[in-house]
Structure 1
Amino acid sequence: MQQRQLGAGGPMVSAIGLGCLSFGGLFGATTDDESLRCLDAAWDHGITFLDTANIYGVGRSETVVGEWLRTRKRRPVIATKASIVPGPARRIDNSAPHLRAELEGSLRRLGIDHVDLFYIHRHEAARPIEEVAETLAALVREGKIGGYGMSEVAPYTLERAHAVHPVRAIQNEYSLWTRQPELGLIQRCAALGTAFIPFSPLARGALGHTMLDPATLTPGEFRTQIPRFSAENWPRNKARIEAFRAYAADRGLSPAALALAWVLAQGHHLIPIPGTRTAAHLAHWAGASDITLSPEDQSEIARLLPIGWAFGDRYDDDQATTVERYC
């Protein structure tokens, strides 16, 4: 596995990390044993960067990662997040008392005394980001976190926070079907020495090894609310994806590996974090950092999946309320 730096002054990590959202059950039923096997497989493939959050399964993902750390005695680089307050009136809280309390809870579940990277999961719109950056900078100085990051934010928020204290990483959705970060965010991260962490680089499973069928998703599952998987939009998206899958097969690659190789090729400061809950799925893309795309590959991928090809938005209106928009 190739290595990349997690932001200026940050540690070296595997070029591909592991998103641990699925350990919380958001994308279907799972077991802790299955998640532990997935973590074992990730380590065996050279993955040294794990990404979780307090809200993933309401602490379950962090607890599973903590159990793996305790029983396997491994020392990966860990990132976690806080700010989303669940409930009927779901809200965002970036206040210092909330972030400090949630960080302490995460550390207890993980069984460690500090975390390498701590994100605000969303920016609380009414709270100046400079205030939030001061809170996070204090946690760095206290040794509670190695660095801080932000998720689903705009370039202007990165600029303002970075002026207070360097931002180690930005985590936004980015893949062959979600390209908005190309409109300034990826570039600003590169200029400031901030790592860019694409989440859902396999398009919520749409670019996975097996063709996804939205009709088989569990009722109420997160993806059933995403417009791109709707009965109206999915057939159009599927036709594009099938052509991409055929091209990957001609190259002797899984579609997941090819999609990840494309993300990695967009900049050396990109560290994608595909998620899965099974060792079998992980094996389909874990070697993507060793794939070199030729100019011909890049051109053909651009023809098959041109910018803006996806039908439907990446979130519905309720899901998008806490995401910063800049285009």
Structure 2
Amino acid sequence: MDRRTLGTTGFDVTEIGLGTWQLGGDWGELTDEEGREAVRAALDEGVDFLDTADVYGDGRSERLVGEVLDERDAWDEVTVATKAGRRLDPHEADGYDAENLERFVDRSREQLGVETLDLLQLHCPPWETYYRPETFEALSDLRADGKLAHYGVSVEKVEQGLKAIEYPGVESVQIIFNPFRQRPAERFLREAEKRNVGVVVRVPLASGLLAGAFDADEEFPEEDHRNYNREGEAFDVGETFAGVPFEVGVKAAEELEAAVPENATMAQFTLRWILDHDAVTTIIPGSLDADHIADNVAASSLPSLSVDRHRRTEDVYDDYVREHVHHRW
């Protein structure tokens, strides 16, 4: 699998990584062993970038990632990114202070079983956080103390990403970007590339819509966020189906199938579309299925999509999706 350099971190990471939200929950029930098997399957496919967070299963995801890397003695071969901040209750900008951040970082170090976190990302903090230099100074202090090697921000909105990269210590931004969320390509990706900031793309398959996996009658388990967060009841609605109303997304995905090459799946087409944007460093689709993980990894080997296929993707976005998402994120 091809690799790209993550901003100024010096980490050369695989174009396809693994998001481990599923290991913590919110996607249905699973056992610890099923979670570990997903990480093993990704490593077996050559994936060397794993993304997790301290709130995924209240630390469960971090713990399972750490256990597999210990088991494989693979820490020197893999970059692990985690996130902090969503443990705050209430989740307010004032909570992103030095004391809380150090507490969160220490907990993640313990859950993963490491002295130094490879990459610590603020976890979609409130808007006001981006105007608190002391928050980013606290991260720099934690880096100087050896508790983390690099830091970045996971954002909901393009404007937040643009503000975050004004801080020189921010080396990466995690953002939602896919054929149903195209706004980052207008300006953000260009600015990130100009500043040599790594870009980690999450929710690439729009919670499965862009894998062509669903019809309009699809039902999801009660504990699956695709059931309980469709209107943003639990967290930002943009994290579920990329913010696209489910029925609209199903129809748009059906229309997009005409752009998919014969030798590719819908998921591979989607991931290749994202990788065709050079500013993207790595993509972190989440899956517990070994075959799906292998399918995702194979997208890195596909040739770039033609101009006509990119144009068709833009047309579907304009016709079905833009009005629902473009002005919001």
Same fold (TM over 0.5): yes
Aligned-pair distance for 1:186? 1.6
Please show how residues 84-103 of structure 1 align to structure 2 within 5 Å. Answer: 84-85=86-87, 89-91=90-92, 93-103=95-105
Q: Which amino acid aligns with 1:168?
A: E
CA-atom RMSD in angstroms: 2.7
Richer in helix (by share): 2
TM-score (norm 1): 0.86
Question: Is the CA contact (8 Å cut-off) linking 1:158 and 1:167 kept in structure 2?
Answer: no
CA contact (8 A) 1:179 1:308 kept: no
Q: Which letter maps to 2:58? A: V
Compared with structure 1, are the counterparts of its residues 158 and 281 closer, same or farther at alpha carbon in structure 2 (3 Å cutoff)? Answer: closer
Distance 2:258 2:33 in 1: 34
- Write out aligned runs for 1:1-327 (5 A): 1-75=1-75, 76-85=78-87, 89-91=90-92, 93-127=95-129, 128-152=131-155, 157-158=160-161, 161-208=164-211, 210-211=213-214, 215-224=218-227, 225-227=229-231, 233-248=245-260, 250-292=261-303, 293-303=305-315, 305-307=316-318, 309-310=320-321, 313=324
Question: What secondary structure sits across from 1:226 in the alignment?
Answer: coil
Tell me the distance in 2 between the aligned counterparts of 1:52 and 1:152.
Answer: 15
Identify the range of structure 1 (152-161 vs 177-186) with the bigger mean alpha-carbon deviation: 152-161
- Cα drift, residue 132 of structure 1: 1.3
CA contact (8 A) 1:148 1:169 kept: yes
Deviations 1:124-175 (A, max 9, x none): 4444331111111112222221211111155665565545433111011111
Distance 1:191 1:254, change over 3 A: same
- Find the residue that maps to 1:285 and give its secondary structure: helix
TM (norm. structure 2) is 0.85
Question: Displaced runs of 4+ in structure 1, greater than 6 A?
Answer: none
SS in 1 for 2:152: strand
In the TM superposition, residue 215 of structure 1 has moved relative to its aligned partner by 3.8
From the superposition, tell whether residues 163 and 298 of structure 1 become closer, same or farther in structure 2 (CA, over 3 Å).
closer
1:223-282 deviation per Cα after TM superposition (whole angstroms, max 9, x unaligned)? 2322586xx94333212212323542x522111010000001112433111111221221
1:180: Cα distance to partner?
2.7
Gaps of 5+ in 2: 232-239
**Distance in 2 of aligned mates of 1:160 and 1:208:** 32
Task: Name which of structure 1's ranges 262-271 and 94-103 shifts more when overlaid on structure 2.
Answer: 262-271
Q: Deviation at 1:202?
A: 0.5
For 1:256 and 1:302, how far apart are their aligned partners in 2? 17
% same residue: 27
Separation in 1 of the partners of 2:164 and 2:306?
37
Gaps of 5+ in 1: 315-324
Which deviates further from its counterpart, 209-218 or 127-136?
A: 209-218
**How has the CA–CA distance of structure 1 residues 195 and 308 changed in structure 2, closer, same or farther, with 3 Å as cutoff?**
farther
